[in-house]
Structure 1
Amino acid sequence: MLRVGNCSGFYGDRFSAVREMLTGGPLDVLTGDYLAELTMLILGRDRLKDPSLGYARTFLRQMEDTLGLAHERGVRIVANAGGLNPAGLAGELRALAGRLGVPVRVAHVEGGQLPLDDGALTADAYLGGAGIAACLDAGADLVVTGRVTDAALVTGPAAAHFGWAPDAYDALAGAVVAGHVLECGAQATGGNHPFFRRYDVRRPGFPLAELHADGSAVITKHPGTGGAVDVSTVTAQLLYETRGARYAGPDATARLDTVRLTREGPDRVRIDGVRGEPPPRLLKAGITRLGGWRNEVVFVLTGLDVDAKARLVREQVEDAFARAGARPAEVRWELARTDRADAATQETASALLRLVVRDPDRRAVGRAVTGAAVELALASYPGFHVTAPPGRGDPYGVFEAVYVEPGAVTHTAVLPDGRRVPVPVSAPSTAPLRDVPEPPLPEPLPPGPVRRAPLGLVAGARSGDKGGDAHLGVWAETEAAWRWLAHTLTVERLRELLPETRPLPVTRHVLPNLRALNFTVTGLLGEGAAARARFDPQAKALGEWLRARHLDVPEALL
């Protein structure tokens, strides 16, 4: 058995989690995921200012606090904190180990970079776990990587420990699924869970997986830590930012429709039955660019006549743009009716009118917008004020997913002794990646009385982003609720409940083993989270909006 824990789900996660995981109980490998699509843009901007940067500096500070502890306990550490500069981070870690007098062997994985075209800030392919495995096989205690898949942080250590061949697809797919559950840290232990009131999530612990040679795993957490691990928390994370039954990666394609979840005891959920297929022919890569400039002003509208006040200020600002001949390329207005009638506080008597502008030219979002807003201070609606003084504008980024031949990028394991070992590419599938045919739906519930109620009373949901697309997983926790949900929540019904999705392509996938539906809403997030084109730019709360929508629910389920 191999015990693999997680201590980070993003750049900025709980600083103390490394120490908590090292001291909380037995562990063989501790992993940390620091890279999201947005993070690559942040690291790219860091590197523009200082070419020696480009890695997650938080990780270096965490190692200063815990490197000796990890060595004492014999825990190996694997993290993708190297970002755009894994060699630079590895060098800093070696220097740190020398200063601390801790004899750890540091290795790193590099490669995956694509040539930067005009305007590209970063361009990196998602590598698999084979480079990590090579480093661990060579005796590394600490391995840092650049842009690898989140699951590679688990497939690499598992392949090294169990000696899996590159074509052990079932076992590798099991590790991919376990890695996907671990990658977002406390989201697997009750964090961000739709039924959060069941659990004590004031400070949830971080998850770990007990992996076995056949690729099966038990998801659990250290004793005495907060949160919980049950079938519902694991289901929620399994559906996070995935789409169809085939979950593709460079190590293996995991068939999510074969996953079985079984409660094995308190805070223990077994994952088994996972079938694997060869990886797809092409590697996914992410390109980030600086897309232009963005500015925002939020007008506060208090008391009576909110719609008329909003109409007035919109007309005034648009007129100012026209007179100046400087209307930004994109102008968006959104009125959030947060106000209440006869409110007991001024804040709850107020609505928010949000103006967002974007343009390739910073001047178009700076002085023109600031002047248009500020000059209205004494000449607009009664009670005029804004949440913050308008600024000069900030740069925003865009993300683009592309697919490249594996031979177009390098993949190199730099071992503790400095040797550079090229990592061969796993034999990919020659067949294109296709959706699995929709499985048969369960028998519908027999007709009966219904009541108008929120969907969230009978279904959980979790949502997130992949580039410009939103992913939304919805699941039922009883067989009766699943029989109703599978027939009720069609693409057409989803569009009715979430009107913002109506003009966009929506795809539904059915996962009966998980009693779940997974929806992909193409283009909802524009050019990705960094572009901040939407109020919720990463679609984190899209699922909660859906759960709050009312429809006719069978009384038997309520």
Structure 2
Amino acid sequence: MKCVVPQDRAVLVGTMAACTGDRSDALQQLLSGPIQPDALVGDYLAEINLSWRAAEMETDESAGFDQGFIESLRKAENGLRKRLEAGTFPRIAVNAGALNPRQLAMNVQAYLSETFGKDGCELLVAYVTGDNVIETLQKPEVFADIRHLSDGKTLSSWGHQPVVANAYIGQWGIVEALRAGAAIVISGRTTDASTIQAIASWWHAWDELNYEKLALGLIAGHLIECGHYVTGGNFCGFRHIEDYFDLAMPIAEIHQDHVVVTKQPGQNGVVNVDTVRSQILYEIQGHFYYNPDVIADLSDIAVFEDGKDRVKVSGVRGLPPPPTLKASIQAYAGYQAEFCAVAIGSEIEAKAKSLEKQIRRIFNIEARLKGGPAALQSFSFQCLGGSGTENAPSENAATATIRILAQAKDASSLSSQNFSGLIIETLCQAYPGFTPHLEYHRTGTPRPYLSYFPALIPRHYLEPMRVHFLSRDSPISIDHPKFTAFVTDLPKQRNYEPTQPQNLARFGPTITIPLGHQVFARSGDKGANVNVGFFPQGGSMEEWDWLRSFLTTEKLLELLGEDASAVKKTERVEFPNMRAVHFVLFGLLGEGVTNTSRIDALGKGIAEYLRSKFVPYPEELYRGFEKRI
């Protein structure tokens, strides 16, 4: 056996990719340090790039997977060769297979054979299927029974014909492949954390009923699935990280009762309680983290420094998994076109309003939104920026962007004569300095857009997961976990205001500062919703008491300003051991990333927007401008 085998110790798992297009040299860098990972994982999928892969397969049946995985292997050839020659080739699990895991498995096996000769031929490559449910949706009883994740509406009431449909399957197909000797396992739409969960369960021989252990594997996966996000990427404290480039990928030490997050010594980036808390709060839904194999209860999760660039995470509990799986369902819903222009200097708001009035008139917007010739499904006029553009140090700093976005069922409704050409007709009568972005011929050309339906699909409709080896005729069939919680027993996300709130007056005189001078935050998307979590810069009880008492639901919506009107519902909880306050903002992204008019389509900027808002902060707790985050 040329591969790593389980031992009686923690398993070391390193991340090689956190998204499609991630750094292709990350694996090479990860293998160059003194820590030798037992396993490597990569998360390549999201709702939006599954639709990209589907579009590729319309013209090329051999496409449909993420090309970046093999490129990473190529760049890391020397490091992989050393591990292979030493008989410690790391196990690798990735979801880069997307819609065509078999083809990627064939390509990977060919690469291994060509690059490493006989030893490469002996490395088994497996692929896992069972996530693609597009054919399952053709059954009328299934179509009528699948419901929207947020509002409970049935798929049959959606009004679109799905073209991409993938259930978020769990870890057990990957586990079985590893048990059967696979060196590399390729899957489609497993959950982001499933590859890490599978490595831990395989290594420690955890079974599907050991929910406490499975929850630990889940939080380990959540911590490192986003790669650099836990070593300094997307981090409020980025200014304090020297050499803020080529950040190290994370490594998780997964023990039997806790996880330690670390990185290769000497590589750029940082792992501390703040980067780890930020990642824990990223794209969660509250105290309960739903997963195909377990529900993790994060209510008592705790983080501790465990040495330089080492953070220990514990306090996670496990509950039986739900009887349904999340599914990402997408359908072509029409066409979309976009036009951008600049507004510079003074009176930005007045300039934007004058142009909007002209555009609405020349477009005959109200009539077109009601139907008839050149009918539109939606129309959005946005002014991006504009505050602080007067007396700016440069023209760039004085510039705001006008963004006009329209959607229609038929491409002809967004032809040049019905969209970009009409805007250009206002060129010489628009506000002073009106200048279109000169690529409007490209962005103004109608292109298909997809509607997104995040769904819950009952497990009994799903085919078993199957593990396929290229060298074997018969796949291994793996049923989904048989023991699941009854719907009536599923934990409901909590929602509450501050417990025993402090009177803010007791903190004494205040100073007006941006919230982000003293408070960390991170936000992200979950379908149509955005989550955002906050925690204080310091570790004192006073700072925590102020933050949790100040950040009520009412206060958060106030800080959101005009954007609060798009929020349909809000849920708020606290994580006392992490001293964090967490919110879910339902509906802020419209239908979700594939169909939202927001420029911040993934919700990652909401945290930074809220941190920029001015708040009255206790003078006694303020560290001063020089010591701000």
TM bin, normalised by shorter chain, reads over 0.9
One of 378, 398, 401 as aligned partner of 1:330: 378
Deviates more, 1:498-507 or 1:411-420: 411-420
Structure 2 partner of 1:6: 15
TM-score, normalisation: structure 1: 0.95
Please give the per-residue CA displacement for 1:44-103, whole angstroms capped at 9, x wherever unaligned. Answer: 211222222111011122223335743541111110000111111111111222222223
- Which runs of structure 2 are paired with 1:145-544 in the superposition (5 Å)? 145-200=187-242, 201-212=244-255, 214-322=256-364, 326=374, 328-336=376-384, 337=386, 340-367=389-416, 368-390=418-440, 391-410=444-463, 411-415=465-469, 417-418=471-472, 419-426=474-481, 427-430=483-486, 431-436=489-494, 441=499, 444=502, 446-476=506-536, 477-478=538-539, 479-499=541-561, 500-502=563-565, 503-544=567-608
- AA aligned to 2:549 is H
Q: Distance in 1 between matches of 2:387 and 2:546?
A: 33
Kindly report structure 1 stretches of 4+ aligned residues shifted beyond 4 Å. Answer: 436-440
Whether the aligned pair in 2 keeps the contact of 1:396 and 1:532 (CA below 8 Å) is: no
SS of alignment partner, residue 536 of structure 1 = coil
1:22 matches 2:31: yes
- AA aligned to 1:428 is T
Q: Distance in 2 between matches of 1:305 and 1:129?
A: 56
Q: Distance in 1 between matches of 2:198 and 2:52?
A: 26
Please give the per-residue CA displacement for 1:256-275, whole angstroms capped at 9, x wherever unaligned. Answer: 11222111100000112221
Please give the per-residue CA displacement for 1:243-302, whole angstroms capped at 9, x wherever unaligned. Answer: 211101012111111222111100000112221111112111111222321111122223
Q: Distance in 1 between matches of 2:130 and 2:300?
A: 33
**Identity rate of aligned residues, in percent?**
32
Whether the aligned pair in 1 keeps the contact of 2:507 and 2:620 (CA below 8 Å) is: no
Q: CA deviation at 1:335?
A: 1.8
- AA aligned to 2:564 is T
Please give the per-residue CA displacement for 1:146-167, whole angstroms capped at 9, x wherever unaligned. Answer: 1011111111111111111111
Q: Distance in 2 between matches of 1:385 and 1:75?
A: 55
Structure 1 partner of 2:627: none
Q: Distance in 2 between matches of 1:380 and 1:543?
A: 35
Deviates more, 1:223-232 or 1:525-534: 525-534
Distance verdict in 2 for CA 1:244–1:317, change over 3 Å:
same
Whether the aligned pair in 2 keeps the contact of 1:125 and 1:283 (CA below 8 Å) is: yes
Structure 2 partner of 1:107: 126
Q: CA deviation at 1:134?
A: 0.5
One of 77, 95, 99 as aligned partner of 2:110: 95
Whether the aligned pair in 1 keeps the contact of 2:272 and 2:311 (CA below 8 Å) is: yes
Whether the aligned pair in 2 keeps the contact of 1:281 and 1:432 (CA below 8 Å) is: no
Structure 2 partner of 1:550: 614
Whether the aligned pair in 1 keeps the contact of 2:337 and 2:405 (CA below 8 Å) is: yes
Distance verdict in 2 for CA 1:491–1:63, change over 3 Å:
same
1:61 matches 2:71: yes
Q: CA RMSD in A?
A: 2.1
Unpaired runs of 5+ in structure 1? none
SS of alignment partner, residue 60 of structure 1 = helix
- AA aligned to 2:580 is A
Structure 1 partner of 2:167: 125
Q: CA deviation at 1:424?
A: 2.2
TM-score, normalisation: structure 2: 0.85
Please give the per-residue CA displacement for 1:488-520, whole angstroms capped at 9, x wherever unaligned. Answer: 111111110002124521111211111111111
SS of alignment partner, residue 412 of structure 2 = helix
- AA aligned to 1:414 is H
Q: Distance in 2 between matches of 1:68 and 1:442?
A: 58
Q: Distance in 1 between matches of 2:549 and 2:392?
A: 42
Please give the per-residue CA displacement for 1:452-480, whole angstroms capped at 9, x wherever unaligned. Answer: 22211221110010111111111124222
Q: Distance in 2 between matches of 1:555 and 1:208?
A: 39
Q: Distance in 2 between matches of 1:64 and 1:267?
A: 29
Unpaired runs of 5+ in structure 2? 1-9, 84-88, 139-159, 623-629
Q: CA deviation at 1:396?
A: 2.0
Q: CA deviation at 1:395?
A: 2.1
Q: CA deviation at 1:374?
A: 2.0
Deviates more, 1:143-152 or 1:323-332: 323-332
Whether the aligned pair in 2 keeps the contact of 1:302 and 1:339 (CA below 8 Å) is: no
Structure 2 partner of 1:70: 80
